[in-house]
Amino acid sequence: MNNGPLLFLGIFGTLAFSFTGVVLTSQAQYGRLAPYYDQNEGKAFPEPVSGLAEQGRRVYQELGCAACHTQQVRRDGGDLERSWGERQSYARDYLREARVQLGTTRFGPDLRNIGARPYTADWHYLHLYDARLVSPGSVMAPFRFLFEYRRVPGEPSPKALRLPADYARGHGLSRPGFELVPTRRAEALVAYLLSLKDPYDFPVEKAKNSAAAAVPAGHK
């Protein structure tokens, strides 16, 4: 007797059941989430980002930054000890994002809360131009195409990179009357990086992920 069709149906049914349980159920749960309105703060969280930061999100995606960086603070594994966030990431944190950049590998640090760390826009510009300028030993590739070396058009730009003198001379970037400035894509990307932070701890998620209260001695 040929059991092929029966075997096929069994395998198909198992895969379909697994897909429904893992993917569709999770999607349904995520779909029911909504921003949380805090009466005391008078606003909803997560907050929307600026238009420039939203443009930067697309630049981040186009450049494939998620190939080397994650955007998910994990409760276990040392993320909190590394100060990559004050708490673990929740599903609700990503509600404003059309495409979540979770990433898969960590050749570089997690960036979910990079905007909450003490890095200025000037630091990010230098880091993008040549990461080793601000992070000695970094293996991050330079993104020099995001910058323009141009003649100063009247007044110098306040966003012009302040390169170390030796570095500028060694790379031909010290000509009088010229400056190295970020392009619009670089400005958008840095605005996006500065927007990455999850400072609000949602009450429902916080309650679910807090450690259980200790039971007093003598009580069971």
Topology of the domain covering 38-201: Cytochrome Bc1 Complex; Chain D, domain 2 (1.10.760)
Residues 6+ apart with CB under 8 A from 168: 174
Instruction: Decide: pTM greater than 0.85.
Output: no
pLDDT reported for residue 22: 44
What's the pLDDT score for residue 218?
Answer: 60
Per the structure block, which two tokens stand in for 118? 């003490």
Tell me how crowded residue 33 is: count the other CB atoms within 10 A of its CB. Answer: 15
Say how far apart CA 132 and CA 134 lie, in whole Å.
Answer: 5
HSE-CB at 83 with a 13 A cutoff on CA atoms is 5
Helix %, strand %, coil % for the chain, to 5?
Answer: 40, 5, 50
- Which pLDDT score, from 0 to 100, does residue 104 have? 87
Give the integer Cα–Cα distance in Å for 64 and 184. 18
Q: 218 in the Ramachandran plot: left (φ > 0), alpha (ψ -120 to 50) or beta?
A: left
Average pLDDT along the chain, 220 residues, taken 10 residues at a time: 65 59 48 90 95 97 96 92 95 93 94 97 98 96 98 94 97 96 98 97 90 56
